Amino acid sequence: MTTIERGPASAAGAVAISFLGAAGEVTGSCFRVDCAQARFLVDCGMFQGGRDADEKNASALDFDAATLDFVVLTHAHIDHSGLLPRLTARGFRGPIYATPATADLAGVMLPDSAHIQEKESEWAREREHDRRSAPRRAQGERRAGHRAPPEPVADALPLYTLADAERCLRQFRPLAYDVETDPRPGIALRFRDAGHILGSAIAEIRIGDGGARRKLVFSGDIGQPGRPVLGDPTPVPDADVLVVESTYGDRLHKDLATTYDEFAGVLARTLPRGNVVIPAFAVGRTQEVLYVLADLVRLGRAPALTIFVDSPLATRATEITARYAPILDRESRDLAAWQARHRDRVRVVFTESPQDSMAINEIRSGAVIVAASGMCDAGRVKHHLRLNLPRPECAIVFTGFQAGGTLGRQIVDGAAHVRLFRQDVAVRASVHTIGGLSAHGDQAALLGWLAGFRRPPARVFVVHGERDTALGFGALIRERLHWPSVEIPTRGDRIPLA
């Protein structure tokens, strides 16, 4: 049974982990470690999906941020990094350790997230103003042609601002894979390649000196072996304490050959009469989708394609990925060379302005539209869904996890209608889930990575999975690997490590 405790771990050698997010759920990854040497976070992610996500984000950092010594960031996805600017706004001034690629990606993702926060806050204030002022307008304000400025609304304030994000980015300290650093005396940190997205890392943290030294390993998000673009996750031989993700701990992904077959089939059936819309995370998934589409053309399994990447963030992430070409897998480098010689076969159009995005709306068939966000809860993809969902000749292709409560989850679960821009929109387009591109390792991949440990860790905590999935995967670890201590924490638990 998990214990819930509060207060610092102050005794010499004492260590405690607080599970502040991604415990019994997939988003909001955040773990605080308290020990005699330091207090630090591993990840500081945003909660996404569900009606209570805003409330969770507003109350997530309910401790004195100024008492933190440093932060370890496993990768740039917003469910792992998205509350870092809020942490800075609340007084955190220490370094944020991340791989160089993660630091570069965060440099575009966090300002983009701040822009979304500010815009959504502005819209919320305007809606509240309209609601409050409606009776006054009815009494003559409308006749006078006067509109009062929006009144301040406490719960409509942004989680953080662009200035907060920019200040936060100055705290990043890049650390390459397989290089050890000492964030504080008595603490050593090293990153291993997690194979999840560009720059993603497994964090190895050693606490203490001599015989009292203890090794904590945080898996971050573990990638699926054999995927395009990135290498496979790095095995870790040992740990005293392991915190491991379980996003897809209850299922197996389709293999890459099946993924190619399914993609080719959707393109062949749809493009002559309609469009293919692919909601995709701007970082990682968009670049993999582009790889698969181009490879299908190269292999003669798809016609010449026109692909619109309708996400300024995805455009910048793709540019950053290209800068790290030397660390990508050989297949990616070979395909890039082929594309450079056959630009007429795969035409990729990166849209920047809203006007460029709206121009896509005029295209009735033959377009592949890749747009963020991956779970359809924000961004330009919502406009493309509004226009293409009601058309039975179109197709919507999901290639990644859809968290409970998100628009993407509603569509995948078979909703006949969804709510978009305050309108009911019929779902008549064909809906496809193609799992072979998932950036998360499936059950077999996670078990394979865990099998790389030479001996069972003394404590294992299963996180970053919906509650039933985490429980089932924890039971599977005990059954298949015969590990004796596997626990499923709940958000808010603070667990001392003996």
Whether the pTM exceeds 0.75: the reply is yes
For the 15-111+156-251+441-497 domain, the top CATH level (class) is alpha beta
Residue 356: burial class (beta carbons within 10 Å; 0-12, 13-18, 19+):
middle
Q: Does domain 256-437 have CATH number 3.50.50.60?
A: no
Phi-psi region of 284 (alpha: psi -120 to 50; beta: other; left: phi over 0): left
At 430, which amino acid appears? S
What's the confidence (pLDDT) of residue 327? Answer: 81
> Over the stretch 171-218, which tens digit does the pLDDT of each residue have?
999 999 999 999 999 999 999 999 999 999 999 999 997 667 899 999
- Hey, where are the domains in the chain? 15-111+156-251+441-497, 256-437
Q: Is residue 2 over pLDDT 50?
A: no
Which whole number is the average pLDDT over 83-105?
98
Q: Which of 280, 335, 285, 289 is nearest to 310 (CA)?
A: 280
Q: Considering the chain, what is the average pLDDT of its residues?
A: 90
The answer to whether the 15-111+156-251+441-497 and 256-437 domains have the same CATH topology is: no
To which residue do tokens 């499936």 refer? 442
- Model confidence over 4-52: pLDDT tens digits? 343 444 455 689 999 999 999 999 999 999 999 999 999 999 998 777 8
Percent of the chain with pLDDT over 70: 91
Average pLDDT over residues 355-379: 91
445-485: per-residue pLDDT in tens? 999 999 999 999 999 999 999 999 999 999 999 999 999 99
